Amino acid sequence: MRKRVSRVLRIVLPLAILLYFIPVLTILFLVCGLLDISRHRRITKPIAKLYFTGNGIPTWLLSPLNLFFDLISWRNKYVYSLEDFPPEERAEIESVLNTFKDKKEAIIADVRQRMGDKKRGMLFYKWYDKNTDDAVPEFNEDFTYVKTIGLSAFSEKEFTSRHFGPLRLTVRVLYNLSAFKSDKVYIEVDGKKHFWHDDPLFIFDDTLEHCSINDEDRERYCVFVDVLRPSSFTGLQNAMMRVLQTILINFNGIFYKNWSFLK
């Protein structure tokens, strides 16, 4: 009972103070947060707790910006297929995926060497439109729609906690390079599991609660690409991406604090 009261006070007291000193701004963020989290199929107590008091707080703080991105983008499908993208954007996505497929063995060998004995690693070739690794020259091209290119690596029996991505300016494209047949290797988004052996490609709105699981005794390698959401305002999206790159380029550790960045 005492612990429950303590947890409630840790939420209520700061909120009461904020409502007293900056009521309009506090109410704005509360309303935006409620609108943002309402996109989930079911809003459970654990999801609400995680969003408003756990690792979802950065996503909550970015909710006004994300709701603006919703206004300038086409309808959010939450889970996408390649056919949902305009031809020019789909061509860029397929070009990046084809490079990963064509150079699969060399890329995995490179990442495996960089991983060493790390449990969970992330190699970014491009981060918010800025080239960060030149191991694969094709990824250093100038893209209109593709903004982040990376590869995530899990050692055996490794998984992420449930979390929310930061921004809805982009959509997350995942392609599993090691989609061995197993129901123990999957991604779960908003309570629904996607098994990689069913389809190695999965495209989704990563600001929804999700987690990735590798409960097998072997490594898992997954392509990690962010592309602009389909929109009639691509120029504005790219202008905002340049601003966000300047702000966020040094803060990726906030959203990937449990990952080892491979260099």
Residue-level pLDDT at 13 = 84
Residue 153 has pLDDT above 80, yes or no: yes
What CATH number corresponds to the domain at position 93? Answer: 2.60.120.330
Instruction: Looking at the structure, tell me whether residues 141 and 250 fall in a common domain.
Output: yes
| Of the listed ranges 88-102, 115-129, 240-254, the one predicted with least confidence | 240-254
Picking from 37, 54, 72, the residue at the C-terminal end of a domain is 72
Instruction: Looking at the structure, tell me whether residues 147 and 178 fall in a common domain.
Output: yes
Q: Which residue has the higher pLDDT, 3 or 144?
A: 144
Average model confidence (pLDDT) for the chain? 92
Label residue 10 by pLDDT band (50, 70, 90).
confident
Picking from 39, 72, 105, the residue at the C-terminal end of a domain is 72
Residue-level pLDDT at 20 = 85
Instruction: Looking at the structure, tell me whether residues 89 and 63 fall in a common domain.
Output: no
Could you give the percent of the chain with pLDDT greater than 70?
Answer: 94
Instruction: Looking at the structure, tell me whether residues 52 and 117 fall in a common domain.
Output: no
Residue 85 has pLDDT above 90, yes or no: yes
**Residue 231 zone, left/alpha/beta (φ > 0; ψ -120 to 50; rest):** beta
Residue-level pLDDT at 30 = 96
Average pLDDT over residues 86-95: 98
Query: Which structure tokens are listed for 68?
Result: 């603006």
Domain limits for position 62: 2-72
Nearest to 247 by CA among 124, 127, 143, 71: 127
Instruction: Looking at the structure, tell me whether residues 56 and 180 fall in a common domain.
Output: no
Instruction: Looking at the structure, tell me whether residues 115 and 142 fall in a common domain.
Output: yes
Average pLDDT over residues 3-26: 80
Picking from 41, 72, 103, the residue at the C-terminal end of a domain is 72
Q: Which residue has the higher pLDDT, 1 or 56?
A: 56
Q: How far apart are CA 126 and CA 132, in angstroms?
A: 5
Q: How far apart are CA 148 and CA 126, in angstroms?
A: 5
Residue-level pLDDT at 8 = 58
Query: Global pTM?
Result: 0.94
Residue 162 has pLDDT above 80, yes or no: yes
Q: How far apart are CA 61 and CA 77, in angstroms?
A: 23
Residue-level pLDDT at 254 = 67
Q: How far apart are CA 26 and CA 51, in angstroms?
A: 16
Residue-level pLDDT at 260 = 87
Instruction: Looking at the structure, tell me whether residues 20 and 113 fall in a common domain.
Output: no
Query: Which structure tokens are listed for 245?
Result: 């790159």
Instruction: Looking at the structure, tell me whether residues 32 and 83 fall in a common domain.
Output: no
Residue 3 has pLDDT above 70, yes or no: no
Instruction: Looking at the structure, tell me whether residues 197 and 227 fall in a common domain.
Output: yes
Instruction: Looking at the structure, tell me whether residues 64 and 88 fall in a common domain.
Output: no
Number of domains in the chain: 2
Instruction: Looking at the structure, tell me whether residues 67 and 127 fall in a common domain.
Output: no
Instruction: Looking at the structure, tell me whether residues 31 and 122 fall in a common domain.
Output: no
Tens of pLDDT, residues 33-80? 999 999 999 999 999 999 998 999 999 999 999 999 999 999 999 999
Tens of pLDDT, residues 208-230? 999 999 999 999 999 999 999 99
Label residue 7 by pLDDT band (50, 70, 90).
low
Amino acid at 240: M
